[in-house]
Amino acid sequence: MNIYSLGATVIVAAFLYWMVPDLLVTIGKISFQTLAQLKWVLLGLVLVGGIYAIVRAVLTYKTKIAIIEQQSDIQKHRDRLAIEARLETRLLEDRKVDK
């Protein structure tokens, strides 16, 4: 590392050590002032977001329950058809044996 890059690194480090804390304090003050002025708007946004999340969770739950019920109905009908097909094949086999 040559002397120029070392000097530049020291100057940049000193500059950042001096500027970053001031920047964070300034951003903090501005943020606090903004939150203090817009507290009702932010509260409204949080409330609307919470209601949206609750409604979405409820609708998702109801949709999943409906899907499960439909799948169980489909499986019930498949099982019924399979049982009927087995009974028909047994009846056909019985008729062939009787003849």
C-alpha to C-alpha distances, 28 to 23, 37, 41, 66, 92, nearest whole angstrom: 8, 14, 19, 49, 85
What integer pLDDT is reported at residue 76 of this predicted model?
96
Q: What is the mean pLDDT of residues 85-99?
A: 73
Full-model pTM:
0.55
CA–CA gap between residue 96 and residue 99 (Å, rounded) = 5
Asked if the model's pLDDT at residue 41 lies above 70, the reply is: yes
Locate the domains of the chain by residue range: 1-37, 40-99
Instruction: Return the ∠ at Cα 95 (arms to 89 and 99), rounded to 5°.
Output: 150
Of residues 41, 62, 60, the one with CA closest to residue 52? 60
| Longest CA–CA separation in the chain, Å | 110
